[in-house]
Amino acid sequence: MNRTGLQTKESNARLNLIKAGLKKRYFKERVFRFFGMVAILTALAMLAILFVSITGKGYTAFEQTFVRLDITFDTEMIDPENTGAKDVHSKGDYGGIVKKSLRQMFPDVKDRRQKRDLYSLASSGAAFQLRKMVLSDPSIIGTTQTIWVPTDDDVDMLMKGHIKVESGVSGRIKPYKLEWIHSLKDRGALEKRFNRALFTSGDSREPELAGIWGAVVGSLYTMMVTLLLSFPLGVATAVYLEEFAPQNMWTDIIEVNINNLAAVPSIVFGLLGLAVFLNFFGLPRSAPMVGGLVLSLMTLPTIIIASRASLKSVPPSIREGALGVGASKMQAVTHHVLPLAMPGMLTGTIIGMARALGETAPLLMIGMVAFIVDIPTGIFDIATVLPVQIYLWADSPERAFVERTSAAIIMLLAFLLLMNAAAVVLRNKFEKRW
Amino acid sequence: MNHMAVFIAVIGLSAFGFYIGRSRSIKTVDGEIRKLNSMPGYYGMFVALWCGLPALAIFSLWMVFESSVIMSLVASGLPPDIQSLPKEQLSLIMNDIRNIADGIAVSEKRDIYLLSAAEHVNRLKFTGVLALGVLVVSVCTTCLSLSMKHIKPNMRARVNVEKTIQALMILCSTIAIFTTIGIVLSVLFEAIRFFQQVAFTDFIFGLHWSPQMAIRADQVGAAGSFGMIPLLTGTLMISAIAMLVAVPVGLMSAIYMSEYAADKVRTVVKPVLEILAGIPTVVYGFFAALTVAPFIKDLGGNVGLDISSESALAAGMVMGIMIIPFVSSLSDDVINAVPQSLRDASLGVGATQSETIIRVVLPAALPGIVGSILLGVSRAVGETMIVVMAAGLTANLTANPLQAVTTFTVQIVTLLIGDQEFDSPKTLAAFALGLVLFVMTLILNIVALYVVRKYREQYE
């Protein structure tokens, strides 16, 4: 009796001790949980900040300020001898025509320096635009037309509010230039329009003329080479290792190799490309061919690993069934296992390609950083790719390139999102759970 | 583009081979297919493979060696006074010739010998393509007719085809090994050439990095120094900052996801977090250079700190954001692999959930977590674009994260962008740095993979 009393007393004391600690422990529990939540929210917030800051910087690049000019296609300046020949037309003084039209809009400008500032209102691309018009339709020579041409990037930035007026006055835009801009605006001769150049032209030193199309085409060629090389090679390797290879040292070496290659920094692949493909084999610099070669070596491990996982998930009963009715091993694999594993392999390939599409560093090594105006027409042409274009633009000092860089990033992310969405759809639609 | 035509011709001929092989096999047994050893398609495949493979092998070998052969032919055809020029100048001239031949006008001065050499290049290219076409097509047709002779009803076409395909697959699987060998050799070879000019110990232990070399031999005081210690400290500092961001956030979110979060939250948040891993690094670089770095600089300015606009802090933080999903998804996997029974036992004796996690789950998952962190470090060390865009270019031996530091990868990129001379230590130094980088990441990866594998075996 006494003893049990003592015991209850003791256990009561222990219980009290536990109860006294409970509050603290529950508090700790809540703190721990809170930290977990904070961690996730931090990560999500970072993602949100990234997206918001880039779209916030970039959305204005989809518009470009245009100025309305009354252009007189003066026969004197284009084709003084009235030959009507194309090569004479293409050599006409279109810059002079633009300047003349600007002078007509602001007839009081007399000072030479002020005149130069006046000419800089319109983009230097305006002359090319006029030449193109004349070349496509020579009958406009001698007539006067109202044409919208892109403004210089300074004016564009001012209109978009990226250059503050106060700092603009002291900096690149002088007060009288500001007055002209206001007067143009009052006359309705300044307008923001959709920036077609951004999507249709190649790189340029002038922000208002620069576009991503050259880089997009370069990326497409590079990705084509990468896909054509890495998909068959990756699938063949995965099938061999998973279905045919005997378990021995040789296959172990291959496996370890693949796993290690998957974690080698991408820039090292660039060094490989530079030393082997360019210097040893003498392949052309800056070509999508070489870029594709390097990127396919880089994406191979990703594709192999995904394909093997996909092959592994096909149940053995499928193989056994095929073998049981007399198929050879190769037939069992090609007729039965491969079709079932294909969605998983394609998913892995798309993810690998998405990574390759965003890859920059190895391509810097093989010279795909050149300033390239022309749109590439083949896999041996010099070209650049979208991420490298982003890198190049991000390095440019002009304020207008910041928004264009952001716009290029938005496009790149859109491509990647599309690819990843395709991978997800493919996985959900075709992947079987056994 | 003409190479493309040759390639298409090969493919077309193989397809033709498949068709006639197939019909020939049916003809040999007068349409009674059951008398054939294999299905007719296998005879077609047999012919197609024999027709296509040798030609494709020749084609790829040709493609690999074409330009170097042409350039050496052109070089030997240059005037003797130019051939006797030093190697670097000669390679510049060869570059000019190549560019002129490609129709890219780079230099204004176009000497007559350059133009004639460029013409020579184009002529050789033209004859090359012609010769390739003739060679490949003749090989194709010869092999085609030879293999057609082999088609007999009792020929084991299927076994033959399957063996060939398997051999091809083995060939494919060795590419991984060749890639590794290629990486090691290319980096090692150039690095050894570098160490012939700069002492190995100077490189490993040197405290000063300024790879400017004298442009002219008579220039004074421009010997360049190649000590990698400042780069190493810079790399380690930026990686450490990155891990300081990535490990707590990544690990805690992995714990929350696997232990607390409801299924609905998990299915939404996990893929969203993985978006972070899919964003190209050049985008992070832009973000770091144009958003984070100015922000940190202003923040420092407000409290009276002088923060460099290329501070290690900005680059490291953004790199940390990039690494969060690596740490979190790998840790998530290993935490999920901890057997439920361990948790149940702990909860059963009255531990709260957080106590269970801290005292039971995490210790059990520790090796895997360490492995995932090591993989994250290896990513951070090898990451290029973020640091190229947001970190500094000059090597500072400093422990202050508010100053600009530089890393291995930044130096590799800056040394190798632009025109290179492959004899100057400046260019070769990049390969030596690449070697160090490769070895560092390789060790980290091997250790990490070993730790993770060991850990997995424990619970399987």
CA distance A317 to chain B (A): 22
Nearest-by-Cβ selection for B282 from A38, A236, A387: A387
Nearest-by-Cβ selection for B190 from A50, A257, A275: A275
Nearest-by-Cβ selection for A271 from B64, B278, B431: B431
Window 266-295 of B: residues touching A by CB (8 A cutoff) are 269, 271-273, 275-276, 278-287, 289-291
Closest residue by Cα to residue A434 from A315, A340, A352: A315
Does a structural domain hold residue B191?
Answer: no
Question: pLDDT tens, B239-292?
Answer: 999 999 999 999 999 999 999 989 898 888 888 888 888 899 999 999 999 899
Q: What angle do CA B246, B247, B251 make, to 5 degrees?
A: 115
What per-residue confidence (pLDDT) applies to A222?
Answer: 95
Does the beta-carbon distance from A282 to B68 stay under 8 Å? yes
Tell whether A420 is within 8 A of chain B (Cβ): yes
Window 176-235 of B: residues touching A by CB (8 A cutoff) are 176-177, 179-180, 182-183, 186-187, 189-190
Which of B151, B173, B195 is the C-terminal boundary of a domain? B173
Mutation test of the interface with chain B: which of A271, A330, A417, choosing the one with the most B Cβ atoms within 10 A?
Answer: A271
For B299, list phi and psi in degrees, rounded to 5.
-60, -45
Gap between the Cα atoms of A403 and A411, Å rounded: 12
Residue B325: list chain A partners with CB under 8 A: 43
Question: pLDDT tens, A206-230?
Answer: 888 888 999 999 999 999 999 999 9
Q: Are residues B155 and B242 in the same domain?
A: no
Does a structural domain hold residue B192?
Answer: no
Nearest-by-Cβ selection for B286 from A32, A43, A390: A390
The residue type found at A167 is S
Closest residue by Cα to residue B441 from B395, B387, B372, B374: B374
- Kindly report the number of other CB atoms within 10 A of residue B256's CB atom: 26
CA distance B218 to chain A (A): 29
Judge whether residue B67 has pLDDT over 80: no
Say if CB A135 and CB A92 are below 8 A apart: no
Residue A39: list chain B partners with CB under 8 A: 248-253, 256
Does the beta-carbon distance from B409 to A257 stay under 8 Å? no
What per-residue confidence (pLDDT) applies to B6?
Answer: 87
Tell whether B449 is within 8 A of chain A (Cβ): yes
What per-residue confidence (pLDDT) applies to A108?
Answer: 80
A67 DSSP β-pair partners: A149, A190
Q: In angstroms, how far is CA B303 from the centroid of its own chain?
A: 43
Tokens coding A25: 């422990």
CATH of the domain at B293: 1.10.3720.10
Q: Are residues B252 and B154 in the same domain?
A: no
Does a structural domain hold residue B202?
Answer: no
Gap between the Cα atoms of A160 and A199, Å rounded: 20
Does the beta-carbon distance from B269 to A359 stay under 8 Å? no
For B384, list phi and psi in degrees, rounded to 5.
-110, -55
Does a structural domain hold residue B216?
Answer: no
Judge whether residue B1 has pLDDT over 60: no
Question: pLDDT tens, B9-50?
Answer: 899 999 999 999 989 888 888 888 888 888 888 999 999 998
Tell whether B388 is within 8 A of chain A (Cβ): yes
What is the chain A residue with the closest CA to B72? Answer: A282
Does the beta-carbon distance from B260 to A36 stay under 8 Å? yes
Nearest-by-Cβ selection for B287 from A32, A50, A369: A50
What per-residue confidence (pLDDT) applies to A3?
Answer: 61
Does the beta-carbon distance from A406 to B286 stay under 8 Å? yes
Residue B379: list chain A partners with CB under 8 A: 263, 265
Window 144-173 of B: residues touching A by CB (8 A cutoff) are 158, 162, 165-166, 168-170, 172-173
Gap between the Cα atoms of B150 and B143, Å rounded: 11
Residue B271: list chain A partners with CB under 8 A: 424
Q: Give chain A's residues under pLDDT 50.
A: 1, 168-170
Helix/strand/coil for B79: coil
Judge whether residue B224 has pLDDT over 80: no
Window 299-328 of B: residues touching A by CB (8 A cutoff) are 321, 324-325, 328
Q: In angstroms, how far is CA B161 from the centroid of its own chain?
A: 34
For B404, list phi and psi in degrees, rounded to 5.
-80, 130
Tell whether A407 is within 8 A of chain B (Cβ): no
Interface predicted TM-score (ipTM) of this complex, two decimals: 0.89
Q: What angle do CA B432, B437, B438 make, to 5 degrees?
A: 95
A149 DSSP β-pair partners: A67
- Kindly report the number of other CB atoms within 10 A of residue A70's CB atom: 12
What per-residue confidence (pLDDT) applies to B105?
Answer: 56
Share of chain B above pLDDT 70, in %: 92
Does the beta-carbon distance from B278 to A297 stay under 8 Å? no
Nearest-by-Cβ selection for A43 from B174, B176, B276: B276
Say if CB A61 and CB A406 are below 8 A apart: yes
- Kindly report the number of other CB atoms within 10 A of residue B371's CB atom: 24
Q: What is the CATH number of domain A213-430?
A: 1.10.3720.10
What per-residue confidence (pLDDT) applies to B457?
Answer: 65
Tokens coding B398: 């400093």
Window 289-348 of A: residues touching B by CB (8 A cutoff) are 297, 300-301, 304, 328-330
What is the chain A residue with the closest CA to B158? Answer: A328
Nearest-by-Cβ selection for A240 from B172, B182, B283: B172
What per-residue confidence (pLDDT) applies to B118?
Answer: 79
Residue B449: list chain A partners with CB under 8 A: 259-260
- The better pLDDT of the pair B215, A229 is held by A229
- Measured on CA atoms in the order A423, A429, A432, A433, is the torsion positive or negative? positive
Q: Are residues B246 and B133 in the same domain?
A: no
Tell whether A259 is within 8 A of chain B (Cβ): yes
Judge whether residue B95 has pLDDT over 80: no
CA distance B220 to chain A (A): 31
Say if CB B304 and CB A71 are below 8 A apart: no
Question: pLDDT tens, B324-373?
Answer: 999 998 898 888 888 899 999 999 998 999 999 999 999 988 888 998 89
Residue A269: list chain B partners with CB under 8 A: 183
Q: Are residues B254 and B110 in the same domain?
A: no
Q: Which domain holds residue B126?
A: 2-173
Tell whether B105 is within 8 A of chain A (Cβ): no
8-state DSSP, A122: B
Largest Cα span, chain A:
130
What per-residue confidence (pLDDT) applies to B458?
Answer: 67
- Kindly report the number of other CB atoms within 10 A of residue A339's CB atom: 11
Q: Does residue B31 come out as left (phi exceeding 0), alpha (psi in the -120 to 50 range) or beta?
A: left
What per-residue confidence (pLDDT) applies to A346?
Answer: 92
Does a structural domain hold residue B188?
Answer: no
Mean per-residue pLDDT of chain B? 85
Residue A259: list chain B partners with CB under 8 A: 445, 449
Closest residue by Cα to residue A118 from A173, A190, A44: A173
What per-residue confidence (pLDDT) applies to A166?
Answer: 60
Does the beta-carbon distance from B253 to A369 stay under 8 Å? no
Gap between the Cα atoms of B359 and B345, Å rounded: 12
- The better pLDDT of the pair A266, B79 is held by A266
Does the beta-carbon distance from B321 to A50 stay under 8 Å? yes
Residue A308: list chain B partners with CB under 8 A: none
Query: Which long-range CB contacts under 8 A does A326-332 form with residues at least 24 apart?
Result: A328/B158, A328/B162, A329/A243, A329/A244, A329/B162, A330/B162, A330/B165, A330/B166
Does the beta-carbon distance from B409 to A267 stay under 8 Å? yes
Cβ-Cβ pairs closer than 8 A, A with B, add up to 267
Nearest-by-Cβ selection for A254 from B173, B275, B430: B173
Measured CA distances, A394 to A246, B217, B288 (Å): 51, 36, 11
The number of distinct structural domains making up chain B is 2
Does the beta-carbon distance from A276 to B186 stay under 8 Å? yes
Q: Are residues B99 and B168 in the same domain?
A: yes
Nearest-by-Cβ selection for B253 from A36, A267, A330: A36
Nearest-by-Cβ selection for A364 from B417, B434, B442: B417
- Measured on CA atoms in the order B383, B388, B391, B397, is the torsion positive or negative? positive
Tell whether B260 is within 8 A of chain A (Cβ): yes
Nearest-by-Cβ selection for B291 from A53, A283, A364: A53
CA distance B276 to chain A (A): 7
Helix/strand/coil for A314: coil
CA distance A151 to chain B (A): 25
Helix/strand/coil for A145: strand
